[in-house]
């Protein structure tokens, strides 16, 4: 994995652990020689993950919609800052530019990015690992809901393991590096769906 997209919030929660976590993720990727692809912002966890990588000598590629650049939230310290027209282009760029995805805590936009990465993997638009860093148990309920969707039958058995979740970053990166692509919906016949 040469480049990983990190999905995270642009908010700064009161609990400092979240900013510290984002900074650690950026620093760890840089120390491992993995370039960071992220949302291009300078605020909240986004800014912290970029600063963590940059301060450790890493490469940071930001991808940000024009509307957010004019809102003065763009991080111009990035190694490269790509300005795109909208959120659809931003998410497509994340997929095109990265070898996998890591989601750390965030809000609605972060969840949108995670679920799109999962959906596209399930369909077959990409065969990249989709990691979830469940630090502080932040995603416990989301993971339970994902299991519930599988138990009910809305997630096929072949796709129940698309999300690679771990509490520790090192273990998450190890599992992502060992990722084996699954059978996608595009590879299946109607009788198997």
**In Å, what is the CA distance from 131 to each residue of 26, 84, 120, 145, 168?**
15, 25, 14, 16, 11
Give the pLDDT score at 189: 83
How many CA within 13 A on the CB side of residue 46?
25
Structure tokens at 58: 């890493």
Give the pLDDT score at 190: 81
Please, what are the averages of pLDDT over each run of 10 residues along the chain (193 residues)? 97 98 98 98 97 98 92 90 95 96 97 97 96 98 97 94 97 97 87 76
90-95 contacts, C-beta under 8 A, 24 or more apart: 90/39, 90/63, 90/64, 90/65, 91/116, 93/37, 93/63, 94/5, 94/7, 94/37, 94/63, 95/5, 95/120, 95/125, 95/126, 95/128
**In Å, what is the CA distance from 143 to each residue of 24, 134, 140, 162, 192?**
23, 9, 5, 11, 25
Alpha-carbon distance of 139 to 118, in angstroms, equals 15
Give the pLDDT score at 185: 87
Angle at 20 between CA 15 and CA 26, to 5 degrees: 145
Phi-psi region at 11: left, alpha or beta (left = phi > 0; alpha = psi -120 to 50): beta
Domain residue extents for the chain: 3-192
Is-contact 164 132, C-beta < 8 A? yes
Alpha-carbon distance of 105 to 95, in angstroms, equals 19
Give the pLDDT score at 135: 97
Q: Is 56 exposed, middle or buried (0-12, 13-18, 19+ CB in 10 A)?
A: middle
pTM for the whole thing? Answer: 0.95
Give the pLDDT score at 158: 92
Alpha-carbon distance of 128 to 15, in angstroms, equals 32
Structure tokens at 176: 């992502």
- CATH number (3.30.1360.30, 3.30.450.30, 3.10.20.30, 3.40.50.450) of 3-192 reads 3.40.50.450
- SS3 category, 104: coil
């Amino acid at each position: 994995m040469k480049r990983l997209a990190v999905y995270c919030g642009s908010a700064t929660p009161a609990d400092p652990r979240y900013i510290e976590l984002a900074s650690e993720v950026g620093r760890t990727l840089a120390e491992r020689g993995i370039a960071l692809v992220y949302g291009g912002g300078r605020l909240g966890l986004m800014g912290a993950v970029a600063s963590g990588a940059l301060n450790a000598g890493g490469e940071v590629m930001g991808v940000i919609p024009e509307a957010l650049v004019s809102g003065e939230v763009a991080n111009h310290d990035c190694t490269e800052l790509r300005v795109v027209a909208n959120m659809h282009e931003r998410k497509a760029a994340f997929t095109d530019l990265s070898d996998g995805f890591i989601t750390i805590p965030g809000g609605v936009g972060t969840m949108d990015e995670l679920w799109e990465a999962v959906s596209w993997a399930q369909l077959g638009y990409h065969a990249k690992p989709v990691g979830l860093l469940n630090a502080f148990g932040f995603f416990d309920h989301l993971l339970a809901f994902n299991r519930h969707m599988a138990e009910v039958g809305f997630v096929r058995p072949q796709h129940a393991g698309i999300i690679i979740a771990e509490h520790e970053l090192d273990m998450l990166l190890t599992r992502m590096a060992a990722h084996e692509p699954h059978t996608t919906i595009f590879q299946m016949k109607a009788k198997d769906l």
